[in-house]
Structure 1
Amino acid sequence: MTAVTAHAGTTAEPGGADGSAAPASAAVPYPVTDLADVPALGGLYVKGVAGSVTKRPGRGVVLPPVTYRVADVATTGGAAQLAAYQRVVGEPSSDVLPAGFLHVLAFPLATAVMVRPDFPLGLLGMVHLRNVVRVPRPVRLGERLEIRAWAENARPHRRGVQVDMIAEVLAGGELAYRGVSTYLAKGFRVDDAGAGHQERVPAPWAQPLPTARWRLGKGIGPRYAAVSGDRNPIHMSVLGARALGFPRAIAHGMYTAARALAEVGPARRGDAYEWSVEFFQPVLLPGSVDVAIRHPAPGDAGYVFDGWRTGRPSRHFSGTVTPL
């Protein structure tokens, strides 16, 4: 399935067709392992759950020094999936792949890194804390892509260890998407070398005036799973959620983030933008979420968004969308 290539992490990709320099992020920090195809999430979850049994909390977390890459991913045949994704999250019909869809394309590769035998943290019970995404140029249906992913920056958290999973998408040799997904592995510990890291402390939050209300039925989990491939049991049914400690199924965090991005809309975010989201309390299904999307300050071109449980000051997520 895989072939190992001796790519040095400091080797830059060629410049663009106009002779401009390639983005600095064209370099990768670790040697590259090429995969023939983007792996299916279902098999990765099975492997990750089985492997979690052997990954016990301890000190000295060392991340695998490897970059997974699929060098040639065709998007020509993805029109039906893109259209279905757009309907589910509320994106307008377009041949431009929004950042949430690019996350969907790259997520299996990052998951493949996390289920490696030498990845020290168990996939089972991993908590998704936040995403920070940069889209420096649009990606259109029909472009051929390079996708790559690796893990970095294991550091302390008051409840365990947090780690960043990096996923990048290149189109025509140019960086078109870079996503940093931060996860928490509860109960694990890093050694003293990580003691200098400062844990992120959320800013104080006051409930804003809502601009929308989402009424989410229990079917939104399976619907988003159908377009994303993410069939984690906690999103699919009450029984699957209860097996992992939730009273009911919960919405995919990336569904709520992608829907907020869609409500900002392509015209307001532009072709190039940054998108961040931080997750707090999960959204139980069925449920109702109040959402506020607004400018952070008068005259500011960017947007901030928040989602919280209707009728209660229980925040689910907060984020930003900033045109570049």
Structure 2
Amino acid sequence: MSRTTTAIRAGVLLGVIGVAAGAFVYFDQETPPPAPVAGATRQNALPESVNDGYTFERLDNPPRTVVRDSRTVVAATMTDGARTVVITGPSRTFREPKATTADVTTNAWVRLAPQAWKQGDESADWLRPWLTKAMSDKSPDVLAVAMEYLDGAAEQKNAEGVRFRGDASFGPVASTGAGRLERSDFYDYLGVPWTFADGTRTKPDSKHYGAVDCSGFVRLVYGYRMEYPLLGTNTRGPGLPRRAYAIAAFGPGVTPVPNTGQRSTAYDALQPGDLVFFEVEGGADELDHAGIYLGADSDGRHRFMSSRERINGPTLGDVGGTSLLDDGGMYSRGFRAARRI
């Protein structure tokens, strides 16, 4: 059953761009100076390049490199051990009016570098060509791609006729002796078989077509759409495992918020695009929910996106529990860890 009417999405960010009220809205406006980096300790500032005017500054907690332009404005942040890069770009506002009155306005654009960052990569051959291209790239980034699966999002098919974006549901949930089983992965949404790098081949379940559970949503956005390597199992390897607990425990990247088994309030350690993990079912002592951190919303709260059963699909809204890390709600109480891939 369709969740709502179809939204219309524009393809570029020029002026004010809108999508149907049930989904989201972008605004392109003058980019304000970024806020100071929270919880950071400044280390040595590296020499300025005579070619492009960039300066590279090392910070810790976690170890990372901040790129500043000739105006000393933060242009990008790269974390040691992670491929996700936060780039300062045109400001956008993400909304889901049917599910929350809050919105998220951000000038953070989250993209994937060709390899995990390490100290000293400011001199690597790949960096400046990639960074120059990424700084001017206005195609959908991680956050914009995630919004393409909200209630009412417009459908689009590729040349092979596979619907790769559009309103996603959560999918059926089965009960087993071991508890609830959520089985909608990215290939179920696509409706195509998939062969993983280790040779594992899977077939979609027709009952789950157009659906992604919480970790399936993460894999759809970061894996299928942004081309981050994916695993077909819950094992350690060069890619994203299948389930939330496995991504959190031994997925790729770094852990700005490690899992101590207790509720975390380390919000300042997060950056947009981080994967956030929760224990919400209770009794299993296992991380059972995953989402994508968006940043501070219009109420000053830390908001994330995830695919959920009650609202039947991906949401940044407050149906079936507020999508917040810091309001004392169900997900706030269950927030345990974060990973930057």
TM-score (norm 2): 0.29
Higher RCO (CA-CA < 8 Å; seq separation 6+): 1
TM-score (norm 1): 0.30
Larger helix fraction of residues: 1
